[in-house]
Structure formats: C-alpha cells, structure tokens
Amino acid sequence: MSHILIVEDEGIIRSALRRLLERNGFQVTEAGTVPEARNELDANSFDLIISDLRLPGEAGTELINQEIPVLIMTSYASLRSAVDAMKQGAVDYIAKPFDHDEMLTAVNHILSQHRRSTSTQSDQAATGVDTEMEETASSVAGMLGESPPMKAVFQQIEKVAPYDCRVLILGESGTGKELVARALHQLSPRKAAPLISVNCAAIPETLIESELFGHEKGAFTGANASRNGLIEAADGGSLFLDEIGELPLEAQARLLRVLQEGEIRRLGSVESRQVDVRLLAATHRDIKTLVDQGKFRLDLYYRLNVVELELPSLSERGEDILLLAEQLLKQACQRLNKPQARFSKSARTALLAYSWPGNVRELENRVERAVILSDDHLLHAEDLQLSHQPDKESPPTRVSFPAQHFADQSSSTSQFAEADHDPAHLPADDLSLEDYFVRFVRENEDQMSETELAKKLGISRKCLWERRQRLGIPRRKTASSR
C-alpha cells in the first residue's frame, strides 16, 4: 500500500483529500507546515508528497528532493508559480479546486512512473546493463498496443520525437492524444525542460489570450500585476495545445506570430519577447472542415501540420482491447487494494464485441467499476455492463433522472440517439439521461456561465465541455466576443 504525505494548512482541504485517498486504498499522513512535514519524513517512509505551494513560513517547494516525488497543489491564479516549482524538481502540479478523478489520475500516474523508474535503476545496478534504449522503447510501448495501427503510431513517434518539428495529433476523445504528446516530449532533446499542457476549450474565451501570452499591469480591468503567459512558461520546452480547434480566431492570429517569428507580445505591451518552444497540438475535430467554415485559419493549419499523427479509435485496435483491459484491471486492483481479478471467457468476448464510443477512457471506467462492484475474483460480462449498448437506430429508454443522479453517471457509457424529436420539448418525466443534459444546457446557457452550469449539474467544467462535444452542443459566444 502506497504511503502519501499531505502537506496543507487548510484543514478542510486536508481532511477531504485524506478521505479521498484512503477510500482509494492509500495510507495517508497529514501535516500543516513544512517543519511538521520534515518531522514526518524523518519518522516514516513515503512514496509521494502532495503539498500546497503556499504554506505558512516556508513554501511547499522546500520539500522537493530527488528521492520522493512531490505533487504541488496551487490555486489557478498562481499557475505560473507551479510551473516554476516543476523546474525546481516537482513532478507535476494540480490546480485547486481539483476534480477528484483528476487528482486520483495524477497520483496513480506519478506512483506508477516512480515505481517503474526505481525498478529500472535497481535492475541496471544489479546487472550492469545499460538500459537506456530499453527505457526509450518502453516509454512508447508503455501506451500498450500490438495491433498494426498502434505499431505504426509508435514508429512515427520514434521517428518524429528527436526532431524539433511541430506535430498535429488527431483522434477521437479518449484515444490518448496527451499520452502521445508526453511521449514526443520525453523522447526529444527538450525532455529536461517543462511540458506545459493547455486545454484550449477549458479556458474562457475572455481569458485565453491572457493565459497563453501573458499581460502587463493595467492591460485590462483586474490586471493588477504583470504575468507571464503559458507560452513563456514553456520556453525551452514543449507546449501542448489540446483541442486547438476551439481556439478563438483572435488567439489563432497571435499564435501564428509565435510560430512565424518565435516571439510573443504580452497583452498591453509594446515589446516583443523571444521564446523557444516546440508546439504540439491535438484535436478530435476535422480541422479542414473548420477551415472551410471560417472557424480556423488556413495559414495556421499549414504552420501546425508539419507532421500529422492520427490515433486509431479503440474499436479499430482489435486484440489491443484485451491487452489494455488486462493492464487496466491489474492497475485497478492494486489501486483499490483488492485481490487480483481476471476476466472470464464471456467478459473477454463482451470486451471485443463492444464498440467503445468512449475509447480507452471508457474502457478504464468500465473495468474500475467492475472491480469495485464485483464480489468475485472472476469478472463476467455482466460485471462490465456492456450488454446494454443502445441500438443506433432505436431511441434510448425513457426514464426520469433528477439533476444529482445525472452528476453521478459516467460521462461516456452510451450514445445519444439523433432522433427527429427535440429534447427541449419533451415532458420532464420522459427524458433520458442525455436528453436531460441537452434540455438543461439549452434552457440555461444564456443565463448561466459554464461554471454555474457545471455546478448545477454536479459535474466539473471539463466534463461539461466533453459532453457538449459528444452531444453536438457548441458553447455559445459571449456578448463581449461577438
């Protein structure tokens, strides 16, 4: 069982995080300040430190060392300070308030990477064999895949990564586009510098330019101090722009200048600054269609598309589904501290027969849910709950769902039937889960912000955005952006 040290001066946050981690099988110790944390480090052995950046007396970065990985928590306003913490040796950062799934994903990823690194170092010391090439191959193959489409992707990554060229990563949601970006960065000469990941759809349009390019004091209302942008934070490293198809046209023009001239200009500034950034971009949308519709600049598309790398959907990967499912099952059992389970023949057949509209992300959710709910070490088809996949030509079963029940559901377990009816005109007690979402968003998006909509539905902003994309409900332009 992994032992985690939480260093957070706010008791409410510390207790909530402790409960979250303990529910997921981790041993947790708490501290409120850096000196208290040092006392715990002297008395106990830890696998991970999760520390707030700003603490009374000393900053959380004082706990960074080479032996125990440190995950930094920070408010959204001090995101650049978190990037600086990564430059000092923190393995990752997470913005508060954080989504529970986001925190668990970050923790499990860090612990997995640290165990793999420790194991590799031990093997190398014991055998005296240089495993650098093996590590390189493993980091690409770590995405797992024996199917011809994935082998082709791995070959492209290995060929492209060493060269300082821009890469456009295409693929459906949940296929692992960010994993590819991380592999491209880790296999490049820039691996010692930071990789800054930005979800273009998750940042409000009114803030996107300030976040990317930074601003000077007084550039707009509320700009009380000068701030670096995320592009500057990635100087010397790589910048990953996820869902770049959602970038507003004004920001696209400024990004084009970065690619052409290698310089940025902060909002409110008359001076340009040189930056050395490798740009990696990704989208699940058809960029050429966006260009034809006038929503994406053609010149930017050609600048981005030096190398195009397209990821296959999970349904196109054949036996890879079983390979991934076995790996995810092993990880879920370890994470949840449950005995190692295995799939029955019926479960394996069901895994291969399902179409996986949510791709690898949906597969991970199904496997984890089966591990949690099953009382047997042998998982059967019914444990995966794949037999209720809707027929694309028949409407979904109608059932009433309150808003809180909607918040508890998985975001990608069914497909929305594109029927002739408009969900907004259906009676409230005749709505399917996704009809409810469509109706609620359409009726309230003019009066509520994205944050308010997500809060009312009981989901995160990221989850709200993903469901908008999947159900074809674009976010409306704000009055200031028209």
For residues 463-478, average pLDDT: 72
Q: Could you tell me which CATH number the domain at 3-123 has? A: 3.40.50.2300
Q: Where are the chain's structural domains?
A: 3-123, 142-310, 315-384, 403-481
Kindly provide the b/e burial profile for residues 111-139, where b requires at least 16 CB atoms within 10 angstroms of the residue's own CB: beebeeeeeeeeeeeeeeeeeeeeeeeeb
CA dihedral 307, 308, 309, 310 (to 10 degrees): -170
- Which of 312, 37, 48, 9 is CA-nearest to residue 180? 312
Establish whether domains 142-310 and 315-384 are of one fold: no
Whether the pLDDT of residue 365 is over 70: the answer is yes
pLDDT at 366: 92
User: For the segment 83-92, what is each residue's pLDDT rounded down to a tens digit?
Assistant: 677 767 788 7
pLDDT at 136: 35
pLDDT confidence bin for 308, thresholds 50/70/90: very high
Q: Could you tell me which CATH number the domain at 315-384 has? A: 1.10.8.60
For residues 206-214, average pLDDT: 80
pLDDT at 220: 67
- Which of 239, 252, 257 is CA-nearest to residue 291? 252
Whether the pLDDT of residue 13 is over 70: the answer is yes
For every residue of 127-161, DSSP letters joined together read H----HHHHHHHHHHTT---SHHHHHHHHHHHHHT
Whether the pLDDT of residue 478 is over 70: the answer is no
With a pLDDT cut of 70, the percent of the chain lying above it is: 78
Q: Apex CA 335: angle with CA 27 and CA 146, to 5°?
A: 150
- For residue 253, the one-letter residue type is A
Mean pLDDT of the chain, nearest integer: 78
pLDDT at 390: 43
Element (H, E) at 197: strand 195-199
User: For the segment 99-156, what is each residue's pLDDT rounded down to a tens digit?
Assistant: 777 788 788 888 877 776 665 555 545 444 444 333 333 336 357 788 888 888 988 9
What is the reported pTM?
Answer: 0.54
Element (H, E) at 325: helix 320-335
For residues 289-314, average pLDDT: 92
Whether the pLDDT of residue 214 is over 70: the answer is yes
pLDDT at 147: 86
Lowest mean pLDDT, pick from 22-26, 38-42, 266-270:
266-270
* 142-310: CATH topology: Rossmann fold (3.40.50)
Q: Apex CA 40: angle with CA 37 and CA 46, to 5°?
A: 100
Lowest mean pLDDT, pick from 135-144, 294-303, 350-359:
135-144
Report the distance separating Cα 22 and Cα 13, nearest Å. 14
